[in-house]
Structure 1
Amino acid sequence: MISYYTEGVEMPPIQQSEITAWVKAVAGTYDKRVGEIAYIFCSDEKILEVNRQYLQHDYYTDIITFDYCQGNRIAGDLFISLDTIRTNAEQFQAPYETELHRVIIHGILHLCGINDKGPGEREIMEAAENKALDLLTQMRAGTAPTD
């Protein structure tokens, strides 16, 4: 089950049922099933607080993923800073919605086992994000491949 929460911000303009279906489809491409996933949309200040308290990191970030996966079932809490997403969208000259979706799926890809900190891993993550974003576009157009 995927749940959507906010802390100190308004809910972003997403279609929760669409995102839920998309997350399940992306997880399925990695032979994973979706367990309990909680998206917590928040401010920069909240994500900084979480980063300091749980990870001992003293910086802002767009997403923090807490991994509770067991076997092939993904589960976790995903804190997403809408402030940082807005800043990144401006910096990368990308639509806000695209950057929001990229970060939403970034956390899921981490839960599916994709990392982005080691040599060459960032490129692998970016390719996986782009593939997932393409799948969302296909789902919206009704042209997504079916099993």
Structure 2
Amino acid sequence: MTKGPSRLDVAVGYAVPRKGIPAAPSFRRWVAAALAGRIREADLAIRVVGTREGRALNRHYRGRDYATNVLSFPADVPEGLPEGVHLPLLGDLVICAPVVAREARQQGKQPAAHYAHLTVHGTLHLLGWNHEDPREAECMEQLEREILAGLGIADPYLDA
């Protein structure tokens, strides 16, 4: 695996009880794997939420009235920063714990592996990857498979 970012700050906040949810170092490792060889410095935040907050955010920002597994909010880097000022803010991820738990059960996956996949998936969105058309989706999914394989996690798209 390619070396990860030289400076990575991942803030993890839990808006739900932490039972069954990975600890911050796991999220940091998954983000680092997604960024390896792609970006040298990054700051991002991950917030693990419940269904109510996940649904409200999805409704407000995407116009979809249901809680989804992961939402990505890329940072809008302010224009006109003084020369030499570097702001490595990548953005925020919101992961809905009840949705992740339900999907992991339904898909017969280990919850930690599903959290890893969604963290990698969301991080790639922060980098500008997309799955709006079939070709983009195929490229993004292949990249996710490679990153997760480097972490020892099976192909998340098998039997999905």
Pairing of 1:54-73 with structure 2 (within 5 A): 54-68=61-75, 70=77, 73=88
Residue 14 of structure 1 is matched in structure 2 by 22
Does residue 82 (structure 1) correspond to residue 97 (structure 2)? The answer is yes
Determine if contact 1:89/1:96 at 8 Å carries over to the other structure.
Answer: yes
1:34 aligns with 2:46: no
**How far apart in 1 are the matches of 2:30 and 2:123?**
10
Equivalent position of 1:105 in the other structure: 120
Once the two structures are overlaid, the 10-residue window that deviates more, 25-34 or 68-77, is 68-77
What CA distance in whole angstroms lies between the structure 1 residues aligned with 2:96 and 2:76? 22
Aligned partner of residue 134 in structure 2, secondary structure: coil
Q: Name the CA shift for 1:115/1:137 in 2 (closer, same or farther; >3 Å).
A: same
Q: Return the structure number with greater helix share.
A: 1
TM, length-normalised to structure 2: 0.73
Deviation at 1:26, TM superposition (A): 2.6
Cα–Cα, structure 1 residues 11 and 114, in superposed 2: closer, same or farther, change >3 Å? farther
CA RMSD, 1 decimal: 2.4
Counterpart amino acid of residue 13 in structure 2: Y
- Identify unmatched segments of 5+ residues in structure 1: 139-147
Q: Secondary structure at the match of 2:101?
A: helix
- The residue type equivalent to 2:141 in the other structure is E
Deviation at 1:63, TM superposition (A): 0.6
TM-superposition CA deviations, 1:19-68 (whole Å, max 9, x none): 32442343132245312x11100112211011112332212210111100
- Tell me, what secondary structure is at the counterpart of 2:92? strand
Bigger RCO (CA 8 Å, 6+ sep): 2
TM-score of the aligned structures, taking structure 1 as reference length: 0.79
Change (3 A) 1:132 1:69: farther
